[in-house]
Structure 1
């Protein structure tokens, strides 16, 4: 592997998979999840794949103990991993001593240094780059979270829709440990299914009423009547007003129809963004939903929404029954003609 100034955890994974193993790794950055993953990858390479041992030290441990461990010979293991955890204070006090060790490192030891920050004015970063890997683990900005979620789902052999990515990030936030945990739960929940949908996220992570409209329109686009009815049940149980749901659905369907018409006339993703005044993670989710509908389907749903709104205000039928009938028909389970002639 070429000696770049710094690497990512993905670079580390590829390096280890190729069989490389260096005498030192410096995992540095504010994102604990990435540092944790990096340590686990190195642990697997040293302990699980090569039958090595592991010793763990923290910032309060004496320098002599760390040096004794990295310099010592193992009688029973070909390799030994020495982890120096949360090492910021340790490096400030003993960084020069570690540099002196790394000038002539042990051939059987792998020193893994875990730190939030490292002083770039010291010799340590340069020495690590020359004989090992410096892996940056920064906190991810908001725009980096959706690609990260998609990669994590792909690592687990599954797929996830754009709308589901947006909903998951919106609900869970930027904590990668929490996001990873929710992804694991979603994978288990999927069973044999391959793709995570917004309805899955809503079921497992909890949901806000503003975002649940995405899940409802997504279910309509996929003509998934069971999912649509399940979402409706959740919303009504949480106290959502039926007329408010109709209003929000109508707002979203109108936006989808405008986007669909624009694309059918030869417009681009940028045109849709400008027309609907949407960008960032929301644009990707919106474009995916637009792709699920034709103009005719959206026009049909819009007419049904109007009829449902009238029924809510003027009939004695239960509000839940009116909305359930709308969802069943909008998903295509019952034809409009059949309902009108029945």
Structure 2
């Protein structure tokens, strides 16, 4: 398809639809936003069970014949039928050929949304063909400045506001995953209620509620090189259901920041100036500056390499709990 300057969301709001979409990248939140927008604009309320179906190409029970019949079925009461095909990159070769054939002659009464969520860029002739035959868009995670603006906008649309310190605490804990961030923001908006303003104390209250240990406790134990304590906290967090990807991200941020702290301390900067240079909260730098005495620059470089290898291992399918246990042991 030709180059298009509008985003898919902008097109959907103008009721400009395509017969097929290919959504890819690591930002699951944006993919979900597009699917939700299509459902709102295309489906007749009350008829979702008739005119909306979702398939997972990664499941053993997936059947291309069933998908094709669904694609060719006329809508019962909606503008069009909406079919979601998740993990399209997992299709076997025979099914890939059938899908590509269908895309060359799509059914006007059906919209097919193909999704490939991945945290790494994958070179694939098949995915390239999907991009050419469909309206496609890729979604990466937002950078820090853009993410802060998105948080402010997300809260504003829900008739509330959020202070900068509260944003920094939230990003410190939840990283740059918009799906996780949106869930935490919804809790904070509910917590403040009629006050309408989310403060740092509200962020901390939501992020640490009901948990004996938090990711902050893990980084503290790792920063102080207390191996036994760190491993015990890790087991607790994983048992509580903390996403391994979030734990990896927080540990990576810790060691990147420790490297920055050591660098600026050698230049004679005070903690408040280091906080400004690194774009984080003063109390965070105050805490982590204490850890810097336990590591040399070379040790920090080694640990950043350990973190990189751990992320690769998780992304390539190794069991995340074992990878994290091995990582935390070696970080200390």
Q: Is TM > 0.5 for Structure 1 vs Structure 2?
A: yes
Q: Contact 2:71–2:112 (CA<8 Å) still a contact in 1?
A: yes
Aligned residue number for residue 107 of structure 1:
108
5+ residue gaps, structure 1, are 210-271, 287-342
Q: 2:273 aligns with which of 273, 276, 281?
A: 276
**Deviation for aligned residue 1:138:** 2.2
> Normalization by structure 2: what TM-score?
0.55
Aligned residue number for residue 79 of structure 1:
80
Aligned length: 217
Q: Give the 4+ runs in structure 1 shifted more than 6 A.
A: 272-275
Q: 2:163 aligns with which of 161, 164, 168?
A: 161
Separation of aligned partners in 2, 1:275 and 1:196: 24
Separation of aligned partners in 1, 2:207 and 2:10: 32
Aligned residue number for residue 323 of structure 1:
none
Q: 1:28 aligns with which of 24, 28, 37?
A: 24
Aligned residue number for residue 222 of structure 1:
none
**Deviation for aligned residue 1:202:** 2.2
CA RMSD between the two structures? 3.6
Deviates more, 1:120-129 or 1:91-100: 120-129
Aligned residue number for residue 180 of structure 2:
178
**Deviation for aligned residue 1:133:** 2.5
Aligned residue number for residue 56 of structure 2:
58
Separation of aligned partners in 1, 2:190 and 2:181: 14
**Deviation for aligned residue 1:76:** 4.1
**Deviation for aligned residue 1:107:** 0.8
Does residue 39 (structure 1) correspond to residue 35 (structure 2)? The answer is: yes
1:119/1:181 CA distance change after superposition, 3 Å: closer
Q: Contact 1:96–1:124 (CA<8 Å) still a contact in 2?
A: no
**Deviation for aligned residue 1:146:** 2.5
Q: Contact 1:23–1:106 (CA<8 Å) still a contact in 2?
A: yes
5+ residue gaps, structure 2, are 209-213, 218-268, 283-332
1:141-220 aligned within 5 A: 141=143, 144-206=146-208
**Deviation for aligned residue 1:28:** 0.9
Give 1 or 2 for the bigger CA radius of gyration. 1
> Normalization by structure 1: what TM-score?
0.54
Aligned residue number for residue 138 of structure 1:
140
Separation of aligned partners in 2, 1:102 and 1:280: 48
Separation of aligned partners in 2, 1:173 and 1:275: 22
